[in-house]
Amino acid sequence: MIREVIEAWRLDLQYARTIKEYVQKRPLTGSVILYPGLAAGPVSMRALGGVLKTAGAQVYDWPFGINRGLTKGVLAGCLQQLAECKEEQVTLVGWSLGGVIAKLLSHLQEKEEQCFEFLWQDPAHEGAKEIVREWRSQKGVKLGLVTLGSPLNALPNNEVVLQLYRLLHGKDHERKEYWRARLYEGSKAPSVSIYTLQDQVVPWGCSVQLFNENVHQNVPLKGVGHWGLVKSAQGQLEVLRAVDEIQKYYRAGSAGAYWQRQQSAQEQKLCAPWLHYVTSQQELYGL
| pLDDT tens digits for range 115-126 | 677 677 778 788
- Residues 150-174: tens digit of each pLDDT: 988 766 665 556 666 665 665 544 4
Average pLDDT over residues 127-155: 83
Written out in words, the top-level CATH class of the domain with range 2-284 is: alpha beta
- 260 band by pLDDT with thresholds 50, 70 and 90: low
Average pLDDT over residues 234-244: 93
- 130 band by pLDDT with thresholds 50, 70 and 90: confident
Tell me whether strands 216-221 and 191-196 are parallel, antiparallel or unpaired: parallel
- 33 band by pLDDT with thresholds 50, 70 and 90: very high
- Residues 188-212: tens digit of each pLDDT: 788 899 999 888 888 888 888 765 6
Q: How many whole angstroms separate alpha carbon 70 and alpha carbon 73?
A: 8
- Lowest mean pLDDT, pick from 39-43, 131-135, 142-146, 263-267: 263-267
Q: Is 34 helix (H, G, I), strand (E, B) or coil?
A: strand
Q: Tell me, what's the pLDDT at 182?
A: 47
Q: Tell me, what's the pLDDT at 181?
A: 46
Q: Find the angle CA(94)-CA(145)-CA(23) to the nearest 5 degrees.
A: 85
Strand partners, 144: 91
Average pLDDT over residues 58-68: 93
Average pLDDT over residues 11-15: 74
Give me the chain's average pLDDT, please: 79
Average pLDDT over residues 247-253: 81
Q: Tell me, what's the pLDDT at 117?
A: 72
Among positive and negative, which fits the CA dihedral 66, 174, 109, 245?
positive
Q: Which helix (H) or strand (E) holds 16?
A: helix 2-25
Q: Which helix (H) or strand (E) holds 178?
A: helix 175-180
- 34 band by pLDDT with thresholds 50, 70 and 90: very high
Q: Which of 88, 23, 101, 36 is nearest to 65 (CA)?
A: 36
**Could you give the percent of the chain with pLDDT greater than 90?**
28
Q: Tell me, what's the pLDDT at 119?
A: 75
Best-predicted range by mean pLDDT (77-86, 210-219, 245-254): 77-86
